[in-house]
Each structure stands twice: as structure tokens, then as C-alpha cells.
Structure 1
Amino acid sequence: MAITAGTSDGDRAAELEMLLPATCLFHSLSDPSRLVILQHLQLGEHRVVDLTEHLGLSQSTVSKHLARLKDAGLVESRPQGRASVYSLLHGEAITELLAAAERLLGLTGDTVALCPVHGKRAAAESN
């Protein structure tokens, strides 16, 4: 997945194209509510109403987040009566990814949080 120096425009475009799935994956993880949903689903299956109560968000908002995670192949759902029950797909890999992110955050300290483009202040201004 690495971009190499000294490549032609066509090669660079191909390399960037190869990175598109990773870009989409990280974009699906870029919302704090979706990360909380993933952490909550690490505990086991949950209905939308359970996640709504835990997050304090509307049902439609939680459903949209779940749809995004489902589109990314991170969660799955199954019908249970009139409700849908959500669970993690690839739970072990998601746990490893979140643990790796925690390790990286430990190494970078406040650098990410203080970043003027993606840090806390930027996130607050975009809301």
C-alpha cells in the first residue's frame, strides 16, 4: 500500500487507486459515534434501541451510522422479530485495529488532538 518515489503519473494514479479501499475504511472509522458503536458491539450483539440509549442519539442517527459501518463490511445485522440485531464482522481484527490505534495515540501524545486540521478544535468548529 506504499506510494513509491519517482513513479510516473499513471503509476501514481494506480497506487492511489489501490489505496482507495483503505481510505474508505478509515473514513468509516472517522466519526466518534461510529467508534463508540464498534466498541459497544465488541461486548456482543445489540439492537438499534440499545445503541440509541447508550449513545444518547436519535434512532435515525444511529441507524445511519450502522448503515455506514455495514457498507464498510464492519458490522452485520440479522432480523429478530421486528427489530434488527447488529454484531461485528471480523471482531478480532477490529479489536486489533482499535488496539493499534490506541498504541499509536500513546506514541503521538496530544499531537493528533491538537492538530489544527483534524484535532479537537477543528472537530468542534465543524459541528
Structure 2
Amino acid sequence: MPMKTSGVSTASREELAGAVALFHGLSDQTRLAIVRHLTGGEARVVDLMRALGLPQSTVSSHLSCLRDCGLVHGRPEGRQMFYSLARPELLDLLTSAETLLAATGNAVALCPTYGTDRTTR
């Protein structure tokens, strides 16, 4: 019989591990902003720096994480690297998330644990 921890069996945890890793990778505001920007097409680090107002080290660090997760692909051209979404399904996921947020009236933002107003409570 599978051992239960926090109400979730070991088997369920193993089945959910990939999804947990995916959503954890996208849970950072900077990584999500980078992915969202890349839905418009390829971009270089300098393009992302300008668009997001972030330092090069931050953008590069988050791109490395996204690349390691298989969500972003880098295409070298000369001395530059052009980044793009590695899988078109990621665009579908973002579109579905926006549809869900609109359908719930952005109720997630009111969540006392993860909502946008949690720091002022």
C-alpha cells in the first residue's frame, strides 16, 4: 500500500512530479515575463533586458533555468543567441491560463496564500 504524506500518496506524487516542476518553473514572475515576451517571437538577451527593464545577469540566469527545463531554446547566430519557446504547447498553456483567470474573475489574485495582495495582510 502506498505511503501517504500530506494526504497525497507516493504514487500520486510521482505522477504529479513533472507538472509540479513545470508550474514551479513558471511560477517566478521574471521567468513568466520572459516566456510571455517570447510568445511574440525570438529575442536576444539585450531585447529582453530592454523590454523587461532587468539587468543582463538576471535575464541570463532565468533564461538558463528555462533552457534547462526545456521550455526555451537558444539559436546561435554569429556572436548572438536568439531565444524562443521550445514547444508551441507552452503558448497553449499560457492562453489557457489567461482564459481560466478571466473565467474566475481573477479570483486567484485574492487567494490569501498566493494572491497578489498577500504581502499587505
Using the size of structure 2 for normalisation, the TM-score is 0.86
> Could you tell me how far apart the structure 1 residues matched to 2:99 and 2:41 are?
24
What SS does structure 1 have at the residue aligned with 2:54? coil
Find the partner of 1:98 among 94, 98, 105: 94
1:16–1:68: structure 2 CA closer, same or farther, 3 Å change rule?
same
In structure 1, runs of 5+ residues without a counterpart are: 1-6
Q: Deviations over 1:25-66 (max 9, x none)?
A: 001111222222112212211110000000000001011111
> Could you tell me how far apart the structure 1 residues matched to 2:39 and 2:97 are?
16
What SS does structure 1 have at the residue aligned with 2:20? helix
> Could you tell me how far apart the structure 2 residues matched to 1:110 and 1:97 are?
17
Give the residue type in structure 1 aligned to 2:84.
S
In structure 2, runs of 5+ residues without a counterpart are: none
Aligned pairs, number: 117
Find the partner of 1:109 among 84, 98, 105: 105
Give the residue type in structure 1 aligned to 2:117.
R
Q: What residue is the counterpart of 1:4 in the other structure? A: none
Find the partner of 1:53 among 50, 53, 57: 50
Give the residue type in structure 1 aligned to 2:66.
L
Q: What residue is the counterpart of 2:16 in the other structure? A: 19
Contact 2:42 2:83 in 1 (8 A): yes
Find the partner of 1:118 among 87, 94, 114: 114
Aligned-residue RMSD, C-alpha? 1.9
> Could you tell me how far apart the structure 2 residues matched to 1:108 and 1:68 are?
30
